[in-house]
Chain A
């Protein structure tokens, strides 16, 4: 099963003193290396820090791009990992090791892998016919 781990923190690295930020980067480097070795790794990315996100909506053919979300808390989305695990419990175990989990929080969401979704997203493996 695949799970998306969304990392949220109030204080992102740009706001830390350089020494702390460097140490935090090193923690992520080490964690990601372990994750790759463990076979659970699928993907990850850090998000470029910005003052706010942009939310895009289309209604009646008109695109609107507005500043937001205006989060009720000061938490910002800092990055994500996609992991492959046996079940949610194992994903939670992994998420707990993400360095951001100690400073902020990690939201764990199951990635949809049902046939209809995979077909719509062009992710179905081609059928073996021979």
Chain B
């Protein structure tokens, strides 16, 4: 083959790696039954591609070729190591690998990706392990990238991943898509992981994001993949929620890194395409009548997104949505957010009464936003002394950063 064609083949191998490596990996895990073996096989397969494609030409179905090569190298590896392992075990291992015919039709590859996502998000794993494993094995991030994004060290993150894989092996967590009965709960787990990743990226300060991985973009990418594999209403809802929240990224911090409240944001900076996409997804989700909390939160976010100004926000509709949310997924935080919306619809006194009731029950006593909301409504009612107490409580509960600075400024603005 000519030098130019060989170089072209190498280019294609590299680009196939970028776009297909996670899919090939998912299939290899299913075939080989082990994360680490599959990773080695993937590595071997791509090495083989870099050697052989420039020589023999790019295969008609690169993905299938890679799965086949990876599988072959893995079997070869098992045989070569056989001298350390009882012959029975070798035969068992090799037999356990399904033959090639079933390996690579389009449907089974999509199933494989789903299997991988559900396995990484298995409830038997600790939540931070689910996140780390998903980011590494589904999104293809390196351990170092994940560690940096979560502001931990690479060895800590590597340990978390090693333990998670060990747990999968020891607990014999199967590489399976959940049965229809188990699906709602298992899907919950997956959606929670995706939203955790998104929120981690959402609160990252813009100053750091030059070197820190954009977790929000990664989460949205994951959400899109999930939607492709599983067009369920709540998957639509989660993706919509992330898109609409992401649409405000440019508007929510000032150049100096200070927090800007939703009501004060420059709406011209909102990404209208993301809002439109999110709104369309919300509509589809709500029409299905099988929607859940993510879809409702997305609907609320979309209402904000569509309001031309803070004053023109449809608070009546928003409170209505919170009423539904309270019925299907009640929690003190949802109750708090509803109280804030009620204050916008009916005035701060109504909202304050609701927040007082929550705090009196003993809920959210350590939640800084409860006290911040309480302070804000007290301030609007002219109750400066009460507002001061609540601002101070909120400040004591926040960590350093934009939120604390914002609250301190509000505190300073109170009449003495």
Q: A-side interface residues toward B, CB under 8 Å? A: 1, 34, 38-40, 86-90, 92-93, 110
Contact = CB atoms under 8 A, between A and B. Distances in A.
A90 B40 CA distance: 9
A117 B44 CA distance: 31
Query: Which size bracket describes the interface of B in this complex?
Result: 10 to 19
Interface in B138-172: 142-145, 154-155, 157-158, 161-162
Contacts of A92: 158, 162
A110 B39 CA distance: 20
B142 to A, nearest CB: 4
B50 to A, nearest CB: 9
Given A34-B80, A38-B44, A87-B142, 14 more contacts: A1-B142, A34-B77, A38-B43, A38-B47, A39-B47, A40-B43, A87-B144, A87-B145, A88-B144, A88-B154, A88-B157, A88-B158, A92-B158, A110-B154
Q: Choose among A88, A92, A93 the residue with the greatest number of B CB atoms under 10 Å from its CB.
A: A88
A19 B47 CA distance: 37
Contact of B36 (A34, A39, A87, A93): A93
B136 interface: yes
B80 A89 contact: no
Q: Choose among A38, A86, A87, A93 the residue with the greatest number of B CB atoms under 10 Å from its CB.
A: A87
B80 to A, nearest CB: 7
A38 B162 contact: no
A90 B154 CA distance: 12
Contacts of A86: 43, 142
Given A39-B47, A92-B158, A92-B162, A87 B143 contact: yes
Contacts of A39: 43, 47
Contact of B136 (A34, A40, A89): A89
B40 A89 contact: no
B39 A90 contact: yes
A38 B40 contact: yes
Nearest to A109: B155
Contacts of B162: 89, 92
B175 to A, nearest CB: 19
A111 to B, nearest CB: 13
14 contacts: A1-B142, A1-B144, A34-B77, A38-B43, A39-B47, A87-B142, A87-B154, A87-B158, A88-B142, A88-B143, A88-B157, A89-B142, A90-B39, A93-B36
A88 B143 CA distance: 6
A90 B77 CA distance: 17
Contacts of B155: 88
Contacts of A1: 142, 144
A40 B43 CA distance: 10
A34 B43 CA distance: 13
Interface string B54-85: 00000000000000000000000100100000
Contacts of B145: 87
Interface string B74-115: 000100100000000000000000000000000000000000
B51 to A, nearest CB: 10
Contacts of B47: 38-39
Interface in B168-184: none
Contacts of B136: 89
A31 B136 CA distance: 26
Interface in B22-54: 36, 39-40, 43-44, 47
Contacts of B143: 87-89
Smallest CB-CB A-B distances: 4 pairs: A87-B142, A87-B143, A89-B143, A88-B158
B323 to A, nearest CB: 46
Nearest to B77: A34
Contact of A89 (B43, B77, B158): B158
Q: Choose among A1, A40, A92 the residue with the greatest number of B CB atoms under 10 Å from its CB.
A: A92
A8 B145 CA distance: 29
A92 B136 CA distance: 15
A38 B81 CA distance: 14
A110 B155 CA distance: 10
Contacts of A87: 142-145, 154, 158
Contacts of B154: 87-88, 110
A40 to B, nearest CB: 8
A92 B161 CA distance: 11
A93 B39 contact: yes
Contacts of B158: 87-89, 92
A69 B143 CA distance: 33
Contacts of B157: 88
